[in-house]
Every structure is written in C-alpha cells, then in structure tokens.
C-alpha cells in the first residue's frame, strides 16, 4: 500500500530532527575537542636534523626542541609539568627552549615558574634557552622581567643565550634575543659565527629569517612564536599568525642561501583553544649532512 502523505511527512520531520540533533551533537563535539582536548593533546614530532660538518661525537645524538611553555595563569601548570616529564623520558642529549617560557613574567608567578622548571630535562650535553616576546612582560617593554626569566632558567640548570654563542662538542649554538624587543641584536649574534664550523641558530620569531643578517650562514634555524596559528581550517592557512611573513606557520621551510627553518607549534597557548594544530615538542636526530 502506498505510504500516506501524513506518515510520509512524519518521517520527514523525524529525519530532519535526527539530522538536526546529530549536527548539534557534532558541533558540541567539535567545540569540546577544540577547547578541552587538543590544547593538551601533545605530540612528539621525530625527524632528522642534517648539519654540515657535524662532529662525529654528535652523530645520532637527540636534540629536543621545547617552545612556548607560557607559564602563567592561562596554561594549566599540571599540563606543563607532564610535558616536561615526558620530555625527560625521551632521554635527549641536548635540549633547546626557543622562547616564551613565561606568559606572565611578573614576580607573583616566580615561585610557580620555579616549581614547573624544576622538571626541566637537563640533558647530558647541555640545555639551552632563549628569550621570547612574552618573557619581556606587557608590551614586551620590561627587560627586568626577561632578566628574571633568565635567572629562573639559569637556576633550573639551563644556559640562556641572549645574542650569544655556546660551543657544544664542536657545534656552535647561537641564540638571539627576541626580535620585538630592544635587546634584539641579530647582526651582532651572527658576527659571533665561525662560518667554517658547524652551527645551529635559535631564534624565537621566524620573521628574523627575512632580515639581511645571515651573510654566508648555511644551516638550521629553530623557532617558535607562531603556535602554528592555534586554529587551522582544513585546507586553508591559519587566519591568525603573529608574523609578517604569513608563510611561516609551523614545520619545515627551505630558505634562500642554503638555510632551513623549523617552527615548533609550541606547548602552551594564548587562549585555551587549538584546532588542527596540536601542541608539540620536536625530537631531532643529529646527522652529518651529505655533500
């Protein structure tokens, strides 16, 4: 028997309501995922890091990049401790922190920052850190706050590089102070480079890669700062990025002059929201670059 118009309409309404309910549930699920799951769903990225003329003693060693912890009121302290404990469990030989260790660098957060940083992995070859803009406090205009963050990191066992160079078993590690602050001296930092020896550069803001300061440097630059945009629609670039060069999102980029850039999406956040941009730490395996 043909279905009556009334029954047909009833089924249509029921299917519509089911679809509406399913859509609402999916929407709630996406919102919950975006605010409750992905901001703390850390991933460990593993990849090689080929370096020209790498000393044989460093071949196969593990270098861990941690960026943008943003210690303060916005990022859950328990989450940060778990991240640093996981970082230690990876047994890195070298650790580098590429800026924005603090989100609130005011004295009221110093005790909590010291507690969190007590879990910082102290790698056998060395643990190094640089400054980011948030380490300089509101408006990036408080160098005394960056000095306090430097002291906290030093007390935790890290070597802080502020427009300075460290020698690591024959590898030069150069660290720049933050680009948005008055203490940035990229040209002065690169003047410390011996171009005949292997090197690695740490620079919080990847926009520095577009400055005319690199001369003959051929090697890797490790950065953070962008958080990968925190939210990225599928197949589209992130709508919000704190950089001039909007190409610089996250991951690896080939640059002119034989340079390469890797941008970490970071650990923390400015707002507790991430979508399609999971937080990360990056575990590099050092390799001699083939000719």
Residue 37: its pLDDT value, please? Answer: 82
Residue 28: its pLDDT value, please? Answer: 52
Cα distance between residue 166 and residue 179, in whole Å = 20
The model's pTM: 0.89
Cα distance between residue 222 and residue 205, in whole Å = 9
Residue 4: its pLDDT value, please? Answer: 37
pLDDT at 13 over 80: no
Q: For 143-159, how does the pLDDT look when each residue is reduced to its tens digit (9 = 90+)?
A: 999 999 999 999 999 99
Residue 29: its pLDDT value, please? Answer: 56
Taking the domain 43-288, which CATH number applies?
3.60.21
Cα distance between residue 139 and residue 133, in whole Å = 8
Q: What is the mean pLDDT of residues 175-204?
A: 97
Using pLDDT thresholds of 50, 70 and 90, give the confidence band for residue 235: confident
Q: Which two tokens stand for residue 189?
A: 């930092």
Q: For 113-144, how does the pLDDT look when each residue is reduced to its tens digit (9 = 90+)?
A: 999 999 999 999 999 999 999 999 999 999 99
pLDDT at 34 over 50: yes
Residue 213: its pLDDT value, please? Answer: 97
DSSP H or E segment with residue 9:
helix 5-32
DSSP one-letter string for 258-283: GEEEEE---S--SSS--BS---EEEE
Cα distance between residue 250 and residue 262, in whole Å = 7
Residue 11: its pLDDT value, please? Answer: 53
Residue 2: its pLDDT value, please? Answer: 41
Cα distance between residue 35 and residue 48, in whole Å = 32
Per DSSP (E only), the strands in 43-170 are: 43-51, 62-66, 94-98, 126-130, 159-160, 164-168
Of residues 15 and 41, more confidence is placed in 41
pLDDT at 221 over 60: yes
Cα distance between residue 260 and residue 150, in whole Å = 27
Cα distance between residue 107 and residue 103, in whole Å = 12
Lowest mean pLDDT among 33-37, 57-61, 134-138: 33-37
DSSP one-letter string for 162-221: SSEEEEETTEEEEEPPPTTSTT--HHHHHTT--TTS-EEEE-S-GGGGGSTT-TT--SEE
Q: What is the mean pLDDT of residues 277-286?
A: 97
Q: What is the mean pLDDT of residues 250-277?
A: 95
Residues 6+ apart with CB under 8 A from 278: 38, 41, 42, 43, 265
Please report, rounded to a whole number, the percentage of residues in the chain having pLDDT higher than 90: 82
User: In the 8-state DSSP scheme, what is residue 48?
Assistant: E
Residue 9: its pLDDT value, please? Answer: 46
DSSP one-letter string for 78-103: HHHHHHHHHHHHT--SEEEEES--BS
Query: What is the phi/psi pair of residue 92, to 5°?
Result: -70, 150
Please report, rounded to a whole number, the percentage of residues in the chain having pLDDT higher than 70: 88
Query: Around Cβ 106, how many Cβ atoms within 10 Å?
Result: 13
Residue 237: its pLDDT value, please? Answer: 87
């Amino acid at each position: 028997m043909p279905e009556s118009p009334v029954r047909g309409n009833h089924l249509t309404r029921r299917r519509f309501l089911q679809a509406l309910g399913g859509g609402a549930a999916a929407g709630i699920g996406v919102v919950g995922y975006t605010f409750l799951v992905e901001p703390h769903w850390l991933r460990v990225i593993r990849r090689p890091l080929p370096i020209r003329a790498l000393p044989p003693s460093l071949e196969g060693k593990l270098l861990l990049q941690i960026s943008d912890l943003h210690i303060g009121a916005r990022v859950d302290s328990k989450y940060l401790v778990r991240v640093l404990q996981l970082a230690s469990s990876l047994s890195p030989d070298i650790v580098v922190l590429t800026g924005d260790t603090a989100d609130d660098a005011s004295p009221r957060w110093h005790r909590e920052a010291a507690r969190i940083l007590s879990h910082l992995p102290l790698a056998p070859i060395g643990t190094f850190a640089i400054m980011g803009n948030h380490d300089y406090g509101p408006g990036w205009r408080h160098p005394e706050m960056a000095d306090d963050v430097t002291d906290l990191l030093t007390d935790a066992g890290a070597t802080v590089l502020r427009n300075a160079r460290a020698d690591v078993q024959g590898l030069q590690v150069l660290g720049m102070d933050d680009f948005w602050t008055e203490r940035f001296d990229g040209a002065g930092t690169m003047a410390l480079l011996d171009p005949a020896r292997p090197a690695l550069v740490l620079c919080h803001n990847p926009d520095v890669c577009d400055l005319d300061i690199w001369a003959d440097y051929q090697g890797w630059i490790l950065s953070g700062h962008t958080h990968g945009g925190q939210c990225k629609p599928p197949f589209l670039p992130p709508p919000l990025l704190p950089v001039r060069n909007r190409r610089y999102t996250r991951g690896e980029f080939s640059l002119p002059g034989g340079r390469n850039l890797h941008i970490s999406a970071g650990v923390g956040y400015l707002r507790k929201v991430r979508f399609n941009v999971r937080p990360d730490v990056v575990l590099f395996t050092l390799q001699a670059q083939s000719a």
